[in-house]
Amino acid sequence: MRKLKLDELNRASVSEFKAQDKLPVAVVLDSVRSMHNIGSIFRTSDGFAVEQVILCGITAQPPHREIEKTALGATASINWSYHEDAVKAIKKLRADGYQIIAIEQAEDSVMLNGFTPDKNAKYALIFGNEVNGVSDEVMEIIDTCIEIPQFGTKHSFNIVVSAGIVLWDFFAKLAIGS
C-alpha cells in the first residue's frame, strides 16, 4: 500500500471550500483557553466543512501564531466570528434557526450514539472550557445536551478529541448517512 502524495488528495482551494455545501453546524467555543485547542478545532471544522466557528468569552481569536500552529490555515477557510457574551451569541444562533446543543456531562443528557440529528435542521454545538466545561449561564439556555459515552477511568476527553468525535458523528449521520 502506498500513501497518497499531497497533490493526489484533490483538496479544495479556500475559494472552492467557501462555495461548497456545508454541514449545517456551527461550532461554538465557550471560553476555551488553549490556543492550540482553538487552532485544532478550526482545522477539524474545516475537515468536516462546518458552516462556522463562533468564539466566545476568553477564547482567543485569529490571527495568532499559537492558533495558526495547529489550524494550518483553516482560519482562512472557515467562517468565524467573536462574541464576548456567549449567551447573546447563542440567542442569535437560536433566532437564526439553530438547535442549541451543549456537549457536556449533565443530568438528562443524551448519549451521542443515541442522538439522531434531523437532516432538515441546523445545529449549534457548544464546547466548553477545558477545566469548567460549558458555562452554567449557557447550560440554562440550551435545547439539549449530548454526552460522549466513556468507559475508562478518566472523566472527560480533551476538547479537540470531543469535537472530532461529535463532528464525525454528525457528518456521518447528516452527510453520508448512517
Q: In terms of Cα–Cα distance, which of 95, 89, 111, 121 is closest to 166?
A: 111
**Cα–Cα distance for residue pair 161/85, rounded to 1 Å:** 25
pTM: 0.96
Percent of the chain at pLDDT > 90 equals 97
Grid cell digits, residue 37: 485547542
Percent of the chain at pLDDT > 70 equals 99
Residues 6+ away with beta carbon under 8 Å from 165:
112, 148, 157
- 177 has a pLDDT exceeding 80: no
Domains and CATH numbers, the chain: 18-147+155-174 (3.40.1280.10)
Q: What is the mean pLDDT of residues 32-53?
A: 98
pLDDT band at 53 (very low <50, low <70, confident <90, very high): very high
DSSP tag of 99: E
Average pLDDT taken over every residue of the chain: 96
Q: What is the pLDDT of residue 175?
A: 80
**Cα–Cα distance for residue pair 32/132, rounded to 1 Å:** 10
Q: What is the pLDDT of residue 176?
A: 73
Name the amino acid, one letter, at 108: D
